[in-house]
Structure 1
Amino acid sequence: MTTLKDVADQAHVSRMTVSRVINHPDKVTAEVKELVYQAMQSLNYHPNAMARALVNNRTQIVKLLVLEEMTTVEPYYMNLLTGISKELEGHQYALQLVTENSFEIGSCDGYIITGMRNEDYEWIRELKMPFVLFGENRYGYDFVDSDNKMGGELGTRYAIQQGYQHLIYIGIDLAEPFEYSREAGYLQVMQEHGLEPRIIRSENHSTQIQNYIMEHWADYAENTIFICASDRLALGVERAIITMQGSIPEQYGIIGHDSVFLDQVAFPKLTTVKQEVAQMGGLCAKMLLNKIMQNNKPQGNCVTQPQLIIRDTTK
Structure 2
Amino acid sequence: MITLSDVAKKANVSKMTVSRVINHPEQVTDELRELVEDAMEELDYRPNSAAKALAYNRTNVVKVVILEDVGITEPYYMSLLFGIAKGLDKQQYALQLVTEREDLKLGDPDGYIITGARNTDSELLASLQAPVVVFGENRSGFDFIDTDNKEGIKMATEFAIAKNYQSIIFIGIDVKEPFEYSREAGYINTMQQHQMIPRIHRMANHSHLSQKFINEHWREFARNTIFICASDRLAVGVVRAILHNGGNIPVDFGVIGFDGVFLDQVSNPQLSTIRQPVQRLGEHIARMLLQKIAQSGAQQGELMLTPELILRGTTRD
Taking structure 1 as reference, are residues 46 and 280 closer, same or farther at Cα in structure 2, changes over 3 Å only? closer
Q: 1:31 to 1:202 in 2, by over 3 A?
A: closer
Q: Aligned residue for 1:57?
A: 57
Decide whether aligned partners of structure 1 residues 34 and 225 sit closer, same or farther in structure 2, where only a CA change above 3 A counts: closer
Q: Where do 5+ consecutive residues of structure 2 fail to align?
A: none
Q: Secondary structure at the match of 1:111?
A: strand
State the partner residue of 1:118. 119
Q: 1:144 to 1:37 in 2, by over 3 A?
A: closer
**Amino acid in structure 1 at the alignment position of 2:93:** Y
Q: 1:88 is matched with which residue?
A: 88
1:148 aligns with 149
Inter-partner Cα distance in structure 2 for 1:221 and 1:303: 36
Summarize deviations over 1:1-28 as a string: whole Å, max 9, x none.
Answer: x595785898798765554454345635
| Structure 1 partner of 2:192 | 191
Cα distance 1:114–1:34, how it changes in 2: closer, same or farther (>3 A)? closer
Contact 1:25 / 1:33 at 8 angstroms: preserved in 2? no
Distance 1:231 1:109 in 2: 35
> C-alpha distance in 2, partners of 1:159/1:5?
55
Mean Cα deviation higher: 102-111 or 2-11: 2-11
Distance 1:13-1:165 versus aligned 2 partners, 3 A rule = closer
Residue equivalent to 2:179: 178
1:277 equivalent in structure 2:
278
Report the Cα distance in structure 1 between the residues aligned to 2:47 and 2:40, rounded to whole angstroms.
Answer: 12
Give the deviation of 1:215 after TM superposition: 1.5
Relative distance call for 1:160 and 1:92 in structure 2 (3 A) is same
1:68 alignment partner in structure 2:
68
Alpha-carbon distance in 2 for matches of 1:172, 1:17? 48
Flag structure 1 segments of 5+ consecutive residues without an equivalent. Answer: none
Q: Which one has a bigger Cα radius of gyration? A: 1
SS in 1 for 2:103: coil
Number of aligned residue pairs: give it.
310
SS state of the match for residue 234, structure 1?
Answer: helix
Q: Is the 8 A contact 2:167 2:226 kept in 1?
A: yes
User: Structure 1 146/268 Cα, relative in aligned 2: closer, same or farther at 3 Å?
Assistant: same
- Whole-angstrom distance in 2 between the partners of 1:121 and 1:210: 33
Per the normalisation by structure 2, the TM-score is 0.91
Distance verdict in 2 for CA 1:50–1:256, change over 3 Å: same
Superposed CA offset, 1:28-51 (max 9, x none): 55555556666x64xxx6433222
Q: Residues of 1 paired with 2:129 and 2:36: CA distance? A: 36
Equivalent-residue separation in structure 1 for 2:8 and 2:281 (angstroms): 37
Kindly state the Cα deviation for residue 127 of structure 1 after the two structures are TM-superposed: 2.2
Counterpart position of 2:131: 130
One-letter amino acid matched to 2:191: M
Aligned partner of residue 58 in structure 2, secondary structure: coil
Q: Is 2:170 the counterpart of 1:169?
A: yes
Cα distance change on mapping 1:253 and 1:128 into 2, 3 Å: same
Query: Cα deviations across residues 159-196 of structure 1 (Å, max 9, x unaligned)?
Result: 11111101110000000000011011111111111111
Task: Give the residue type in structure 1 aligned to 2:220.
Answer: D
Give me the TM-score of the superposition, normalised by structure 1.
0.91
Aligned-partner SS, 2:187: helix
